[in-house]
Amino acid sequence: VDPTLDLVAEIQRLRKEKNAVILAHYYQAPEIQDIADFVGDSLDLSRKAAETDADMIVFCGVRFMAEVAKILSPQKKVVLPDLAAGCSLEDSCPPDEFEKFVKAHPDHMVLSYINCSAAVKALTDIIVTSSNAEHIVSSLPADQKVIFAPDRHLGGYLSRKLGRDMLLWQGTCIVHELFSEKELIKLKAKHPNAPVAAHPECPDNIVQHADHVGSTSSILKFASETESDTVIVATEPHIIHQMEKASPEKTFIGAPGADGNCSCNTCPFMALNTMEKLYLCLRDEGPEIELDEETREAAEKPLRKMLELSA
């Protein structure tokens, strides 16, 4: 790309010309969040993708999120700036192994966190996100046996909180696993009045120090509503961009990794999307998300069920 090209102006021109909507997750770089038509958590983004009347959805997030957009809006062109933007939770749950696991437990209902492949969704009864998981799990009869995949930390958090014994797939998010409890304790000692807000993808030893646990959108709400002037944020640090916009008078500190700072906790998959790739993907209308129709249809059912249950 010509380095003198005004990427922002070109993106603005192309999105109008092509009737495209740009959706971005809170973990994207600030300049991508700022140019998006809508920034949200996984649940909000899937709702937007299902409702949009745009001809093309440009998804600035990771691949499973863009796949959800395609599953819910199959007639639309869905493009992702970098197709290599995967997710360690998705990688930790290969569909063939998961299928065997599900078949070995025929009396269990299958709940999957939205962070998984379309093929795993196709093996699932109800999809959940961190915004609606608690509500959906508690709506199931107490004696209902449940497989929860792929995030063992979110599954463990829900099991403890709701007093259920769910059978957990042992996947994890490599980003949320990097927070260091020792460094977090030191940081809390330096800021004794600062509450900690944590994503439930964090391991239990981090969640135990949290004053608020929830999805990215709930963490944002907490950050803007708390009376404290400093908040410690235990999730991907690009979310702090929205916190600073909403509450410029407050200080937000990313929870530390073992090196004592938060920069190691950025998501390497989310970081693959750049302004340059966003421009190219609008210009070239690709790389495009393509799913075989059988998988798409089978994956749509548990996603629609989720949207119904979290309406």
User: What are the binding residues for [4Fe-4S] cluster?
Assistant: 87, 173, 267
As annotated, the binding site for iminosuccinate includes 25, 42, 113-115, 130, 199-201, 216
Nearest distance, CB of residue 9 and ligand 13P, angstroms: 30
Asked whether the beta carbons of 202 and 219 are under 8 A apart, the reply is no
Q: Toward ligand SF4, which CB reaches closer, 30 or 74?
A: 30
Nearest distance, CB of residue 89 and ligand 13P, angstroms: 7
Q: How does strand 146-149 pair with strand 109-113?
A: parallel
Q: How far apart are CA 243 and CA 70, in angstroms?
A: 30
Q: Report what 130 binds from ligand SF4, ligand 13P, none; CB cut-off 5-8 Å by kind.
A: ligand 13P
Q: Tell whether residue 201 is a contact of ligand 13P (CB under 6 A).
A: yes
Q: Tell whether residue 88 is a contact of ligand 13P (CB under 6 A).
A: no
Preceding peptide of 203 cis, ω within 30°: no
**CA Rg value for the chain:** 19
Q: Report what 112 binds from ligand SF4, ligand 13P, none; CB cut-off 5-8 Å by kind.
A: none
Q: Toward ligand SF4, which CB reaches closer, 175 or 184?
A: 175
* Cα 159 → chain centroid: 20
* Cα 106 → chain centroid: 29
Q: How does strand 251-254 pair with strand 230-234?
A: parallel
The residues of the shown chain that bind ligand SF4, judged by CB under 6 A, are 27, 62, 87-89, 115, 173-175, 201, 236, 267, 269-270
For 232-269, letters b (16+ CB in 10 Å) and e give bbbbbbbbbbbbeeebeebebbbbbbeeeebebbbbeb
Q: How far apart are CA 71 and CA 49, in angstroms?
A: 9
Nearest distance, CB of residue 278 and ligand SF4, angstroms: 17
Q: Toward ligand SF4, which CB reaches closer, 140 or 255?
A: 255
Phi and psi at 291, nearest 5°, equal -130, 145
Interface pick for ligand 13P out of 159, 216, 265, 273 (rule CB under 6 A): 216
C-alpha distance across the termini of the chain, in Å = 43
Nearest distance, CB of residue 126 and ligand SF4, angstroms: 19
The binding track of 41-60 with respect to ligand 13P, each residue x by CB under 6 A or -, is xxx-----------------
Q: Report what 128 binds from ligand SF4, ligand 13P, none; CB cut-off 5-8 Å by kind.
A: none
For every residue of 273-291, DSSP letters joined together read --HHHHHHHHHHT-SBP--
Q: Report what 42 binds from ligand 13P, ligand SF4, none; CB cut-off 5-8 Å by kind.
A: ligand 13P
Task: Give the residue among 90, 236, 234, 245 at the shortest CA–CA distance from 169.
Answer: 90
Q: Toward ligand 13P, which CB reaches closer, 14 or 175?
A: 175
Q: Tell whether residue 310 is a contact of ligand 13P (CB under 6 A).
A: no
Segment 110 to 129, residues that bind ligand 13P, using CB under 6 A: 115, 129
Q: Report what 269 binds from ligand 13P, ligand SF4, none; CB cut-off 5-8 Å by kind.
A: ligand SF4
Which H or E element spans position 48?
Answer: helix 42-51
Q: Report what 88 binds from ligand SF4, ligand 13P, none; CB cut-off 5-8 Å by kind.
A: ligand SF4
Binding interface with ligand 13P (CB under 6 A): 41-43, 115, 129-131, 201, 215-216
